[in-house]
Amino acid sequence: MTGLIIRHGGSPNWWLSPDIWVANPPSTSASPAVANPIAGQTYDVWVRIKNSTGASISGPPPALAWLLNVVWAIPSAGSIPLSTLPSGDVLNESALLDPIAGGASVAIKCMNQWTPVYENGGHECLVAWTNASNIAYPFAPSLEGDAGPGDNWSIAQHNLGILAAGSSKRHLIRYAFQVCNGADEERGFVIAARQAPLVEIEAFLPGVPGGRAILDKPSKVERLGIVASADPSAAELEQARAELTVKIAPQSCRRFTLGGMLPEGNALINVTQSRDERVIGGLSVLAMAEEKR
């Protein structure tokens, strides 16, 4: 069967789920979403779940109960090894869901609030999944591409970073992220950065400083590239290429930095992780040459 669904963002950016968001506390499901969380501030995390069947799901025995799990990580592409995440990264762990009527949608606030850390400037990567209680955590479901939902699980990711480019005349872009390998063996991946139309994130702009006016000032990123380092030098960023082929150890993540220059206006950058010519991970970055208040 297909059960309790958390929508992913659809094609082409399935990692931009509209069903995972944060809000300033105290919040309700109708509170304005915050698209640019600030490091050190505390937020409520919400997940919307839909019962895709015609019957009520989850409830007391003998019904098969469903669970909701939510975690955060620094901006990550690909199959995040859920088993390696520290317990402090768990926002909602194996919470038993109340019965949800057939065809109904409900918004659920996570049991724990989220305080972004300074390690990554507050940029978010939130992953949420539902699963029937007969699935062993964390072996299923898995986040690898837009496949799914499965017969008794659903998984989605919200991975949009908002970046005010440097205040110098060059407006430098410097965005830290990681790429993960959830497999039990070393794998090779292609990591690529491409500029995309701003309209791809139009649905999220109400929660971004500047709102829809961001669409009125599109610009082109210069010297767009990726460096396989969490702290590259200026020279490394200058020489960065927009596409890298890398190997990543089993059940682990590797740090990278996205770089470039944005002379003016706003730009959307999509970073993808591919294996065997299939995109299995991704994240998006909205860079703004002028910080909006």
The mean pLDDT of 76-94, rounded to a whole number, is: 68
Query: What pLDDT is stored for residue 118 in this prediction?
Result: 64
Angle at 250 between CA 17 and CA 20, to 5 degrees: 10
- Rounded distance between C-alpha atoms, residue 219 and residue 221, angstroms: 7
CA quadruple 54, 58, 64, 68: dihedral positive or negative?
positive
Q: How confident is the model at residue 60 (pLDDT cuts 50, 70, 90)?
A: low
- Do residues 245 and 122 lie in contact, with contact meaning Cβ atoms separated by under 8 Å? no
pLDDT band for 116, please (50, 70, 90 cuts). confident
Domains, the chain, ranges and CATH? Answer: 4-159 (2.60.40.10), 162-288 (2.60.40.10)
Amino acid symbol at 240: A
In the chain, the amino acid numbered 36 is N
pLDDT tens digits for range 123-151: 768 888 888 877 766 566 777 888 778 77
264/269 Cα distance (integer angstroms)? 15
pTM above 0.85, yes or no: yes
| Whether residue 81 has pLDDT greater than 90 | no
- The amino acid present at 115, given as its one-letter code, is T
pLDDT-based confidence at residue 293 (cuts at 50, 70, 90): very low
Decide which of 250 and 245 is more confident: 245
Give start and end residues of each alpha helix (H) in the chain.
Answer: 234-238
- Rounded CA separation 258/179 (Å): 12
pLDDT tens string 212-223: 999 999 999 999
Instruction: State yes or no: cis peptide before 37, omega within 30 of 0.
Output: no
pLDDT digits (tens, 9 = 90+) for 255-275: 999 999 999 999 999 999 999
